[in-house]
Each structure stands twice: as C-alpha cells, then as structure tokens.
C-alpha cells in the first residue's frame, strides 16, 4: 500500500490549487478582454479618424499574438490544476506518474499540480530535448 498525505495536507494543497485556479482564470479573463474585445485603434490608444501606421499595426498584431500565447499557456496550466484537483478527489494526489513514489512536499508547494517527482521530471525533460 502506498503511503499517502494526511487529509489535512491534502486540504491545504486543494486550497492552494483552488486559489491558483481562480488567479489563472482572472488572468485569462483580463488578457482576453484586453486582447480580443478591443479594436486595433482602441489598443493603440488612437481614437482619431486617422488610419494606423503599418509599423503600429505590426506592433499591435505582435502584442495580440503574444497575449493569445499567454492565454493558451495559462489554459494549459488550468487543465493541469483541474487534473490535480481530480487526483485529490480520487485520493491519488502527490504520486509520481512515472515511478509511483510520493512527490516531495517542497516540489508540491512550488508546483502544486506536478505529476512527476523532480528526478522523473528532469529525466522526461532530457528525453524530450533529444
């Protein structure tokens, strides 16, 4: 039988994950509103009738693409948080998906949605770099 975290600690991690989820959702809303809800002129601050310069449009497009990339990354984290919350409910939180050992508390405090212990994560990252 695998050693598990006490219920009190699981509740602490759950609270951390819920707060992190709410923060990410707010960031996604803010970035989405700023990026998707505004016209090109509103983003540039130019509300006059003059058309935008091409360089300004390129900068605005770059900023829009960058912000959409941030939202995409935040959504990935959001899915990882949801998965971690599910693992807490299923009493499977804190176990490495690779070696099945308990993930260190220090790592879970730093990355509460982590699926891998530090050693297995480093191994996975080195394999994907090849």
Task: Report the distance separating Cα 21 and Cα 74, nearest Å.
Answer: 10
Whole-Å CA distances, 95 to 5, 9, 19, 84, 98: 10, 14, 21, 11, 9
Given a contact cutoff of 8 angstroms between Cβ atoms, the answer to whether 78 and 21 are in contact is yes
User: Of residues 2 and 102, which shows the higher confidence score?
Assistant: 102
- Write down the pTM of the prediction: 0.72
Distance, C-alpha 91 to centroid of its chain? 22
Task: Report the distance separating Cα 77 and Cα 93, nearest Å.
Answer: 16
Whole-Å CA distances, 45 to 27, 52, 60: 22, 11, 11
Per-residue model confidence as pLDDT tens digits over 102-128: 999 999 999 999 999 999 999 999 998
Per-residue model confidence as pLDDT tens digits over 9-60: 999 999 999 999 999 999 888 877 776 665 444 545 555 544 556 776 677 7
Given a contact cutoff of 8 angstroms between Cβ atoms, the answer to whether 113 and 77 are in contact is yes
């Amino acid at each position: 039988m695998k050693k598990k975290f006490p219920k009190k600690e699981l509740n602490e991690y759950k609270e951390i994950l819920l707060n992190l989820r709410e923060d990410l959702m707010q960031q996604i809303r803010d970035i989405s509103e700023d990026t998707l809800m505004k016209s090109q002129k509103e983003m540039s601050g130019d509300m006059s009738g003059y058309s935008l310069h091409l360089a300004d449009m390129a900068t605005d497009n770059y900023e829009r693409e960058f912000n959409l990339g941030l939202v995409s990354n935040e959504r990935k984290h959001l899915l990882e948080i949801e998965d971690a919350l599910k693992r807490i409910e299923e009493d499977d939180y804190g176990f490495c998906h690779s070696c099945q050992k308990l993930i260190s508390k220090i790592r879970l405090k730093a990355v509460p949605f982590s699926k891998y212990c530090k050693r297995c994560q480093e191994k996975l990252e080195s394999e994907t770099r090849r």
